A and B are shown apart, each in its own frame.
Chain A
Amino acid sequence: MREHLLAERDVTLLDLLDRILDKGVIISGDITISVANVDLIYLGLRLLLTSVDNLEAMRAGGPTLRAASEQPFHALPSEVDQSSALAQRPSSAAQQPHRRACADAAEARDRS
Chain B
Amino acid sequence: MPVSARADSDNAPQGYYVYGITDGAPEGLAPGVGPGAPVEVLVVGDLGAIISPVPLAAFTPEAVRARQDDLAWIADQVRLHQEVLARALPRATVVPLRFGTVFRDAEGVRAMVREHAARFREALAYLAGRQEWGLNISVDQARLAEQVATTSPRIQQLAARQQALRSGAAYMLAKQRDQILREEVDQAIENCVRNVHARLAAEAVATVAGGATSGSAASGTEPVFKSAYLVETRNARTFLALLDDLAAAQPAFSFTVNGPWPAYSFVNLMLEQTHA
**A residues in contact (CB < 8 Å) with B:** 2, 5-6, 9-21, 23-38, 40-41, 44-46, 48-50, 53-54, 57, 60-63, 65, 73-74, 76-82, 85-86, 89-93, 96-105, 108-109, 112
Name the A residues within 8 Å of B216 (CB-CB): 12, 14-15, 89-90
Task: Please determine whether A38 and B248 come into contact, CB atoms closer than 8 angstroms.
Answer: no
Closest to B107 in A: A31
Name the B residues within 8 Å of A98 (CB-CB): 243-244, 247-248, 254-257
Bound together, the chains give a CA A76 to CA B258 distance in angstroms of: 13
Of B66-74, B154-162, B170-178, which binds chain A?
B66-74
Task: Please determine whether B83 and A76 come into contact, CB atoms closer than 8 angstroms.
Answer: yes
Count of chain B residues near A, Cβ 8 A: 86
Q: What are 7 A-to-B residue pairs whose CB atoms are below 8 Å?
A: A15-B136, A25-B96, A27-B271, A28-B272, A60-B219, A73-B260, A78-B83
* Residues of chain B from 33 to 91 with CB closer than 8 A to chain A in the complex: 33, 56, 59-61, 64-65, 67-69, 71-72, 74-76, 78-83, 86-87
Bound together, the chains give a CA A54 to CA B136 distance in angstroms of: 16
Bound together, the chains give a CA A90 to CA B96 distance in angstroms of: 25
Bound together, the chains give a CA A25 to CA B67 distance in angstroms of: 23
B24 on the A face (CB < 8 A): no
Q: Using A23-B264, A27-B98, A44-B68 as known contacts, list a sample of 8 further A-B pairs with CB atoms less than 8 Å apart, ordered by residue number in A.
A: A2-B241, A19-B261, A25-B21, A30-B276, A35-B98, A35-B101, A74-B83, A99-B255
Which of A6, A36, A82, A89 lies in contact with B260, CB distance below 8 A? A6
Bound together, the chains give a CA A102 to CA B247 distance in angstroms of: 10
Name the B residues within 8 Å of A74 (CB-CB): 83, 86-87
Name the A residues within 8 Å of B21 (CB-CB): 25
Which of B20, B254, B271 lies in contact with A96, CB distance below 8 A? B254
Bound together, the chains give a CA A61 to CA B221 distance in angstroms of: 10
Name the B residues within 8 Å of A25 (CB-CB): 21, 95-98, 123, 267, 269-271
Bound together, the chains give a CA A104 to CA B237 distance in angstroms of: 20
B245 on the A face (CB < 8 A): yes
Bound together, the chains give a CA A2 to CA B212 distance in angstroms of: 29
Question: Could you tell me the dominant secondary structure of chain B's interface residues?
Answer: mixed
**B residues in contact (CB < 8 Å) with A:** 2, 15, 18, 20-21, 33, 56, 59-61, 64-65, 67-69, 71-72, 74-76, 78-83, 86-87, 95-104, 108, 111-112, 116, 123, 134, 136, 140, 211-212, 214-221, 236-237, 240-241, 243-249, 251, 254-261, 264-265, 267, 269-274, 276
Instruction: Determine how close the nearest CB of chain A comes to the CB of B220; give it in whole angstroms.
Output: 7
How many residue-residue contacts, CB under 8 A, span A and B?
A: 255
Name the B residues within 8 Å of A77 (CB-CB): 79
Bound together, the chains give a CA A37 to CA B64 distance in angstroms of: 7
Bound together, the chains give a CA A77 to CA B120 distance in angstroms of: 31
Instruction: Determine how close the nearest CB of chain B comes to the CB of A70; give it in whole angstroms.
Output: 14
Name the A residues within 8 Å of B218 (CB-CB): 89-93, 96, 99
Which of A14, A28, A62, A108 lies in contact with B215, CB distance below 8 A? A14
Bound together, the chains give a CA A81 to CA B76 distance in angstroms of: 9
The 8 closest A-B pairs by CB, nearest first: A29-B273, A105-B249, A98-B247, A98-B255, A23-B264, A108-B245, A24-B98, A19-B264
Task: Please determine whether B256 and A96 come into contact, CB atoms closer than 8 angstroms.
Answer: yes
Which of A6, A27, A50 lies in contact with B273, CB distance below 8 A? A27
Task: Please determine whether B251 and A99 come into contact, CB atoms closer than 8 angstroms.
Answer: yes
Task: Select the residue from B99, B236, B241 with max chain A CB neighbours within 10 A.
Answer: B99
Instruction: Determine how close the nearest CB of chain B comes to the CB of A98; give it in whole angstroms.
Output: 4
